[in-house]
């Protein structure tokens, strides 16, 4: 964990310890925030010199510190908070686990929990069909079918000679540039998409197509 994550864990643990020490009969907290901060830093293996920071953040900005810490705290560790110190009953922290950031073609973001570097167990194993980098989404180009190939943010479906995706399915409707496969780097595209040609009044006859970046 990095420094911010450790600080977030210590802040939340301090709050758990303090709240868990509430004595309903005497209506007092048996462990004050300063002592809770010391215990939290020790339990979370956080630099003990930072206990003053944890203490002051919780003493003077409890709600703001809690909101920040819940956003930063790692989601792959089970944090539990004591309901009462006397019974030892515990409950799971009610922080929503982070969701996978993989974008699924025509479906939206994945809803599975993160297990590795922002992705779920399924999508953490996918790599770009074009360059081999970590895939972040499926290709959403359509034809007979949705393409669906895994791609990174720098790659996309290759634009064919007629400005379309060339056809996804059993039939290749238009050829890709020589040497190109179905996907390529965005920066390496040769042809301009059909809708850009229409917007810029580029002639639509095959022989008059211009590679992307050329001038008329």
100 within domain boundaries = no
DSSP character at residue 112: S
Residues 21 and 71 in one domain: yes
185 within domain boundaries = yes
Residues 146 and 200 in one domain: yes
Residues 138 and 67 in one domain: no
82 within domain boundaries = yes
Cβ neighbours of residue 88 closer than 8 Å, sequence gap 6 or more: 82
113 within domain boundaries = no
Indicate whether 131 pLDDT > 50: yes
Indicate whether 80 pLDDT > 70: no
112 within domain boundaries = no
Indicate whether 77 pLDDT > 70: no
Indicate whether 109 pLDDT > 50: yes
With residue 109 as reference, give the H or E element that holds it. strand 108-109
84 within domain boundaries = yes
Single out the residue in 92, 110, 139 at which a domain terminates: 92
Q: Report the distance separating Cα 110 and Cα 108, nearest Å.
A: 7
Residues 216 and 134 in one domain: yes
Single out the residue in 72, 92, 112 at which a domain terminates: 92
- Number of independent structural domains in the chain: 2
Cβ neighbours of residue 14 closer than 8 Å, sequence gap 6 or more: 33, 36, 37, 39, 40, 54, 55, 58
**Range of 163's domain?**
127-216
48 within domain boundaries = yes
Of the pLDDT bands very low, low, confident and very high (cuts 50, 70, 90), residue 75 is: low
The model's pTM: 0.50
Residues 86 and 24 in one domain: yes
């Amino acid at each position: 964990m990095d420094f911010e994550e450790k600080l977030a864990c210590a802040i939340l643990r301090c709050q758990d310890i303090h709240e868990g020490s509430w004595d309903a009969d005497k209506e007092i907290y048996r462990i004050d925030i300063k002592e809770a901060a010391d215990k939290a830093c020790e339990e979370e293996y956080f630099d003990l010199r930072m206990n003053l920071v944890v203490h002051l953040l919780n003493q003077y900005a409890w709600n703001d510190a809690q909101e920040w810490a819940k956003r930063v705290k790692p989601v792959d560790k089970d944090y539990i908070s004591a309901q009462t110190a006397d019974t030892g009953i515990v409950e799971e922290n009610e922080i929503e686990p982070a969701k996978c950031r993989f974008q699924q073609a025509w479906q939206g973001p994945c809803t599975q929990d993160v297990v590795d570097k922002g992705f779920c167990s399924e999508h953490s194993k996918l790599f770009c069909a074009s360059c081999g980098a970590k895939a972040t989404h499926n290709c959403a180009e359509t034809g007979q079918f949705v393409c669906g190939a895994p791609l990174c943010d720098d790659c996309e479906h290759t634009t064919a000679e007629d400005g379309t995706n060339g056809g996804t399915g059993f039939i290749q409707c238009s050829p890709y540039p020589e040497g190109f496969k179905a996907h390529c780097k965005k920066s390496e595209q040769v042809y301009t998409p059909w809708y850009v040609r229409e917007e810029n009044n580029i002639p639509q006859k095959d022989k008059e197509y211009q590679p992307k970046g050329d001038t008329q």
